Amino acid sequence: MTELQLQELLSEMSLGEKIEQMIQFHGGFYGDVKLITGPGHDYSVKPDQQWRIGTVLGEAGYEHLKKLQEGFMEKQPHHIPAIFMSDVIHGYRTIYPVPLGQGASFDPELTRELAEATAKEASAAGLHVTFSPMCDLSRDARWGRCMEGTGEDPWLNARFAEAMVSGYQGDGIDKQGNIAACVKHFAAYGAATAGRDYSGVELCERTLLEDYLPSYEAAVKAGAPLVMSAFNTINRIPCSTNQWLMRKILRERMGFDGVVISDYGAVQETVVHTSSYDKKDAAAKALRAGLDIDMMSDCYLSYLEEQAKESEELRRLIDESCLRVLELKNRLGLFDDPVRGSKELEEKYFYCDAHKELSVRAARESAILLKNEGLLPLAKECRITVVGKLATSTKIVGSWAIFAESDKTVTFGEAVKCRYPEAKVEVYPYDTADEKMLAACKRSDAVIVCMGEEDEKSGESKSISDVSLCREHQMLFDAVYGVNEKILSLIYAGRPLAIPMLAEKSEAILDAWYPGTFGNIGIWELIFGDANPCGRVPMSFPYTTGQLPMSYSAFTTGRPVEDRNGFVPFASNYMDVPNTALYPFGWGLSYSTFEYSSVVLSHDTLTEDGKITATVTVTNKGTMDGKEPVQLYIRDVKGSVIRPCRELKGLQKPFVKAGETVTVSFDITTELLRFYNEDMEFVAEPGEFKVWIGGSSLTKNEAEFRLA
């Protein structure tokens, strides 16, 4: 349709029809539902009204959605098709590593490939929109949904966010094989107080703008046509009714002109927050804030029309919101072809060889070798005992894999048989030790202890107060350690766990996150040395929960502590643990040793519109080819406000053959140096800067330059 035709359609619609386009129901209104994430609802739905609303949540499958769409086309007075949306977060049928695991790959291009493959499967199943990427920066591992984002760093999160949007949307959201991205959760949901889901957020404006908003903006600039409002509060106003956040920041400052949808039931929850008097008040406030679609509450459905009849302002805002929904449907091509996908496409893409191999590769590149004292890689001829329930669990694909089929998931115990059928591996899938298990461990060349959390332990509403390894797994490890110290600790989890005991006693630690449907095959390839680990920590591993929230890019204080062991009185430090992380952002080992040259700068002075090129050479001193995530960090030494100790501002991941030397260069411009000064102006201030290039945030490979 042309814009004029859309305007004409809008003018022909009744007020009630317009509001109905601004509603989202889940599949329970049509006889089926995949996942309910909020409280039950008692709506006053008029006869056949469910067939007139604008969008549907959580339903998928070509034949099923085809029938649903036929119902909408028949019963909506103007034959307006519905949009089918769902949480397709890290795969549809073929499941890939959780987003936090993808963040550990330090490879946004890999994530773009994963999003592209996900879109092919989801589109084949009839879906139009995915509620992804989740751009919520998180520095608190207690928060269950940290697994759904890509970590603690603003710059890296932004790169992953734009990569996901690009992968999902391809050459157009109206094309078969592509789906539209919905950026969530706007904003700063990852900073929920005490890591408790749905809790409020308390951030200063400068922290919000500099740290938490860049990833959302990157996704918006990449072309995402939808944004989802968050459950939390900002400035003590719920996001779904927050005019400053939704209109001033999102629409005016970021230039977003697409559709804003609430999270599940979030509009009516503003009444419980006590910032809305009742549902009628909540509906008006959300509309004034620029919220176009009310997901799974009856605020718009039951309380908007009556007050809009008495308010020209509300009628105008309804027209604006309804038109945005119609424009999205037009961009999706639904007025020309309301049914997406086919049985043939489902058969072509679900679990296809290309997606299976991508799942394996993604798991290889997402896993992090946290420690290795020479145990890995294991020789294929050695005797190996694997212990722990997670060795045979299918609950390692990750939360929000709602369309996954557990019988397709390859467990760790099965994966070794698939890839290495001749391997001498015994599996004891128990979390408590017995004599037979311990005897097998004692006679083995190495023991792999599978620990961590099944995927039902992380995700939405899965906040925890203690991120330590569970006592059951600590006891299992100790029992095995008593008979054989050659232990590889294999961690499955959706968050960074506090594992100081494993760090002390294990000969090797490999964090696999939740690797997806076929990912365990890739984990075995790493263990046997057919692939070289290249994952890096995307979210710092604490020594203990009491350090949270934490980040490598923390600020100094008036009483800083130098890098040293032991407690320093009257300084900013803990009495019982270091300030720093057990495994900090950017950390990760390889089977090769990568040697960096000194940083060479093309100039020592940067002008406002100029650039400095920072260069290093990287040499693979090992005997195995591998990828090395080369990281650029910058520090503004002095500012009108305090500045982080260092910030990631560049990343490359070259493949370096054994014995080879490669040159890696980064361009530094004033754009990388901007921040909000004391007057809240986004500027780069003249002065001294430090730049580091190395293999983690701990690198000391440093140079200095000046901004004139």
Distance in angstroms (rounded) separating the CA atoms of residues 600 and 668 = 12
Contact at 8 Å (CB) between 265 and 286?
no
Q: Let me know if 263 is a catalytic residue.
A: yes
How many angstroms separate the Cα of 22 from the Cα of each of 55, 236, 319, 330? 8, 26, 10, 15
- Look at the chain and count its residues: 708
Distance in angstroms (rounded) separating the CA atoms of residues 207 and 641 = 12
Which of these, 89, 38, 33, 37, lies nearest to 61 by C-alpha position?
33
Q: Render 212-244 in DSSP notation, one character per residue.
A: ISHHHHHHHHTT--EEEEPSSEETTEEGGG-HI
Distance in angstroms (rounded) separating the CA atoms of residues 177 and 660 = 40
3-state helix, strand, coil in the chain (%, to 5): 35, 20, 45
Q: Which residues pair with 371 in a beta bridge?
A: 509
Distance in angstroms (rounded) separating the CA atoms of residues 100 and 90 = 10
φ/ψ of residue 237, rounded to 5:
-120, 125
Which residue type is seen at 517?
T
SS3 140: coil
CA atoms within 13 A on the CB side of 25: 25
Q: Which residues pair with 428 in a beta bridge?
A: 387
Which residue type is seen at 557?
T
Which of these, 523, 495, 521, 525, lies nearest to 408 by C-alpha position?
521
φ/ψ of residue 241, rounded to 5:
-125, 20
What DSSP element (H or E) covers 173? none
Pairing of strands 655-656, 626-627: antiparallel
Which of these, 268, 267, 265, lies nearest to 290 by C-alpha position?
267
Contact at 8 Å (CB) between 627 and 365?
yes
Structure tokens given for 512: 């696999």
Distance in angstroms (rounded) separating the CA atoms of residues 273 and 252 = 26
Contact at 8 Å (CB) between 45 and 142?
no
Residue whose structure tokens are 């042309």: 2
Contact at 8 Å (CB) between 176 and 161?
no
In the sheet that 687-694 helps form, which strands lie side by side, from edge to edge? Answer: 605-606, 702-707, 687-694, 630-636, 647-652
- 250: CB partners within 8 A, 6+ apart: 186, 187, 216, 220, 227, 256, 260, 290
Distance in angstroms (rounded) separating the CA atoms of residues 229 and 285 = 14
Q: Which residues pair with 627 in a beta bridge?
A: 655
Contact at 8 Å (CB) between 400 and 89?
yes
φ/ψ of residue 295, rounded to 5:
-85, 115
Of the listed 107, 140, 211, 263, which one is catalytic?
A: 263
Distance in angstroms (rounded) separating the CA atoms of residues 51 and 118 = 28
Return the active site residues.
263
